[in-house]
Structure 1
Amino acid sequence: MRTHVLIALLGAALLAACSAADSGAPAPDSAHLEPPPPGAGVQYRMVSTVAPGQEIERCKLVVAPPEGLTIRADEVRFSAGSHHVVLYKTAYKEIPAETREGVRVDAAEVHDCNNGATAAWEITGVVAGSQSFSGESFLGDLPDGVALKVEPGAVLVMNTHYLNANPEPIEADARVNLYTMPPEQVEQEAGMLFHYNPFIRVPANGAASARMRCRIDEDISIVRIQSHMHRRGVGFAAHRVRGDGAMEEIYANEAWEEVPARVFPSPLEVKAGEALDFRCDYVNPEPRDVAQGLTTRDEMCMLIGPYFPRTPEIDTCSDAQGFPAETWIGSGAATCADTLACASAAASDAALYGCVVDSCPGAAAQVSGALRCQFSAGHGACADACAGDADRCAACMDEACAADVTACQAAACD
């Protein structure tokens, strides 16, 4: 079986933007968030007009100060019409003249990025943000001596997803304050967990779950965490998985908007060899299947929060080469062999997501191993081959992923 066809089916970025709200609930006046005092930080701001009934993602690229930023806290406010604002890191040394999609744009101005910030720009991580009108932010206040760093002159992407459910246009105003500390006072660098599970499929008028686990290979301390789902989300639970497999609940929440963060009085210690495991539960009242995606018609499942000391791979649950390192855990009864056959026959992203959701939990390691090989072009071994001739790519992938496919076909569900 040629499992290389899965590469073309994964349409979602594993680091993705948040969703828009459609509730129409009032938000605090963002104008009340004044910039930090001189020398204490910076403010980044986006103002945008959103037409009646319009749902739109917008971006703006900004440049960090020449001395860089050592961020000890963030504060975020946004006006009605938006459910989130996110400030991303990028790999750019200067603001590009066109997007990854080849669209020329004045990126220093507010512009549409309706396929998501990660589709338009080369995103490498998250700096700050919020999905709560009440001001609960991603970063919050870090412990003394801990700061999240932004390199001198780094290019950042400010991204907001708007939905105007009103009959009149709205002027949407989003502001992010980054409060800094002197670099010489920084004892440890913080990272930001931004763990994203793309394997979501909820049947019409039905229920489903999405679950993912990330092994932690270095000792870390988590400052605060929160969830992210869309409006069909009815439950979220995150666990620390001990070395012996014991599960300890560290966060639970039923809200998809005004999402609470759990702030640990003392940072939560996660030891090397342990894992973070999180699950989203959904109920879909609509007469159509709902799958993972960026809009309010879709769903998401994310675990977000600052930790220290930073290891870049932990931020997005990747390996040292930047390839996926997640374990995706299904809630069905399909064997790993059945799951790969299902995935190879899938005619759409949503169908592929459903194959993984329907896989059995006992074969999660083998399912994930086979999928990770596909998504990483044979762990990088077939990158050149798969950039050209399809047959050459297929042959390379069949060889590079042979061990993972063999393990998958032999895996049992219990």
Structure 2
Amino acid sequence: MILAILGGCATAPDAPIDVRVSNLPDGDHIVLRTPEVEIPASSETMWCSYGTWDGGDVGIAAYQRVQSAWGHHLRLLFVDDGAPADDTVIDCTGADVLPLDEARPVFFPSTDTDEQIVNALPAGMATPMGEGQRYVLENHVVNTSEAALLVSDVVLLSVVEPATVSTWASPWIAALETLSLPPAQSSSASLDCAIDEPIALLFVRGHQHEWGAGVTLDRVDGAGLVAPLYDSGPWQASYREAAPTTTFWDAPELISAGSTLRTNCQWFNDTDDTLQYPAEMCEVAGMKLGTEPWICRQ
């Protein structure tokens, strides 16, 4: 798929519909804006733009994505120094284009809203972002219209001085990306993630799309005993944007070394086509204690 990067507004009769984000919530936010990109009609794509943070060492205390009605998600990811140059834009739709072990999630929100920043960590808690940190904005757009869209979306960050942070937090995610869901039938799949070092979870949130039927997360100890940690219940269309969340803010859920985190997903594909990532997904994610992200993907 070709993504057209535009330097200005087109005026031709077949110009794309302008859905660039313009009205931002009030507040003292850091604004990270994606470049203008033209998304073809009737298409689903993820596109990625690179940058470098030059605002000094900070803690991210709150995060909000502001997208058009066609936006699915907009994630801030950290990358290493060898990543493409600032302002580079690539089509990153495939799971292997920007794998999670090369582009590390920065912040997972426990809720979603377009009205105000509510995706905030508790007072005194933040996730670190250092001076000179390379990053990429991963923008997932589902254009269900019959016209091309001109898109430019925004991530808003609320940052604090590191000296004010009493507890550091970082993201974690388990993602099953090797999906192949046959047409006109139910499917299920599981992902087992071995825990080599203890991790303490702060919250859990599942993610599927409209063909999802439910997501669960279990802890399996070394003796094989299974303890449920999360259950989305029967999946609903609205969960695609704001799934149920299980929180452990007051007493972080400790997952001991030698345990396994098992993600279970179910779907019903009522289409005539085989569904693959990113048309459908199977993820659980959240925040945990510590400064380093924990990532498990297959």
Partner residue, 1:276: 261
Partner residue, 1:202: 181
| One-letter amino acid of the structure 1 residue matched with residue 122 of structure 2 | P
| One-letter amino acid of the structure 1 residue matched with residue 263 of structure 2 | F
Partner residue, 2:74: 85
Give the CA deviation at 1:261: 4.4
Q: Is the 8 A contact 1:200 1:209 kept in 2?
A: no
Cα distance in 2, alignment partners of residues 240 and 268 from structure 1: 14
Give the CA deviation at 1:227: 1.4
1:303-382 mapped onto 2 (5 Å cutoff) = 303-312=284-293, 315-317=294-296
Cα distance in 2, alignment partners of residues 184 and 90 from structure 1: 25
Is 1:249 aligned to residue 228 of structure 2?
A: yes
Is 1:177 aligned to residue 177 of structure 2?
A: no
Gaps of 5+ in 1: 1-28, 98-106, 318-323, 327-414
Q: 1:258 aligns with which of 241, 252, 260?
A: 241
The structure carrying a bigger helix percent of its residues is 1
Query: 255-264 or 69-78: which moved more?
Result: 255-264
Partner residue, 2:277: 293
Cα distance in 2, alignment partners of residues 289 and 216 from structure 1: 32
Give the CA deviation at 1:120: 5.5
Q: Structure 1's 145 and 30: CA in aligned 2 closer, same or farther, altered over 3 A?
A: same
Q: Structure 1's 267 and 222: CA in aligned 2 closer, same or farther, altered over 3 A?
A: farther
| One-letter amino acid of the structure 2 residue matched with residue 234 of structure 1 | A
Q: 1:145 aligns with which of 124, 131, 138?
A: 124
Cα distance in 2, alignment partners of residues 34 and 88 from structure 1: 22
| One-letter amino acid of the structure 2 residue matched with residue 44 of structure 1 | L
Cα distance in 1, alignment partners of residues 143 and 110 from structure 2: 16
Q: 2:31 aligns with which of 43, 46, 49?
A: 43
The structure carrying a bigger strand percent of its residues is 2
Cα distance in 2, alignment partners of residues 85 and 246 from structure 1: 37
Gaps of 5+ in 2: 1-19
Cα distance in 1, alignment partners of residues 217 and 206 from structure 2: 9
Q: 2:65 aligns with which of 72, 76, 93?
A: 76
- Pick 1 or 2: higher relative contact order, CA cutoff 8 A, min separation 6: 2
| One-letter amino acid of the structure 2 residue matched with residue 196 of structure 1 | A
CA RMSD of aligned residues (A): 3.3
Cα distance in 2, alignment partners of residues 301 and 177 from structure 1: 26
Give the CA deviation at 1:235: 0.9
Give the CA deviation at 1:193: 0.9
Q: Is the 8 A contact 1:84 1:132 kept in 2?
A: no
Cα distance in 1, alignment partners of residues 110 and 269 from structure 2: 22
Cα distance in 1, alignment partners of residues 159 and 260 from structure 2: 31
Give the CA deviation at 1:183: 0.9
Q: Is the 8 A contact 1:221 1:268 kept in 2?
A: yes
Q: Structure 1's 129 and 311: CA in aligned 2 closer, same or farther, altered over 3 A?
A: closer
**SS state of the match for residue 184, structure 1?**
helix
Q: Is the 8 A contact 1:82 1:161 kept in 2?
A: yes
Cα distance in 1, alignment partners of residues 177 and 76 from structure 2: 21
- Paired residues, what number? 271
Q: Structure 1's 245 and 311: CA in aligned 2 closer, same or farther, altered over 3 A?
A: farther
Please give the per-residue CA displacement for 1:374-410, whole angstroms capped at 9, x wherever unaligned.
xxxxxxxxxxxxxxxxxxxxxxxxxxxxxxxxxxxxx
Give the CA deviation at 1:250: 2.3
| One-letter amino acid of the structure 1 residue matched with residue 183 of structure 2 | A
Partner residue, 2:24: 33
